[in-house]
Amino acid sequence: MNKVQDIKVVASRIRMFLRQTEGMPIEVMFWEDLRTLLDLIMEEEVNINRNIKTIAERLNRMLKVGDQALLHGVFWEDLQKLLDLILEEGESE
């Protein structure tokens, strides 16, 4: 699998997890997958939409701040937008 396919697989797994755990505490696996997804997107050799990279950079910065940033809806809205962009891009190919 190439990096772009890896990104789509991890994004799909995160989206599925979020749908199943709505309103419930989020498990460690979610955070590991999210960090993996952001790392894959941020790699220089990955050829991916600039909007996706921009949102990933913003999410990465929010993750570094910690719990304080995660309380704000902006993080969750950005995450949803990122997943939509990644997975919609895969459908249009």
Q: What is the pLDDT of residue 14?
A: 83
Cβ–Cβ under 8 Å, residues 33 and 11: no
Q: What is the pLDDT of residue 56?
A: 93
Listed residue (45, 43, 55) closest to 86, CA to CA: 55
pTM of the shown model: 0.69
Domain residue limits, the chain:
3-92
Listed residue (33, 11, 17, 18) closest to 84, CA to CA: 11
Q: With 0-12 CB in 10 A as exposed, 13-18 as middle and 19+ as buried, what is 75? A: middle
Three-class HEC string of 16-28 = HHHHHCCCCCCCH
- Tens of pLDDT along the chain (93 residues) come to 588 888 888 888 888 877 776 666 567 778 888 999 999 998 888 788 889 999 999 998 888 876 665 656 788 888 899 999 998 865 554
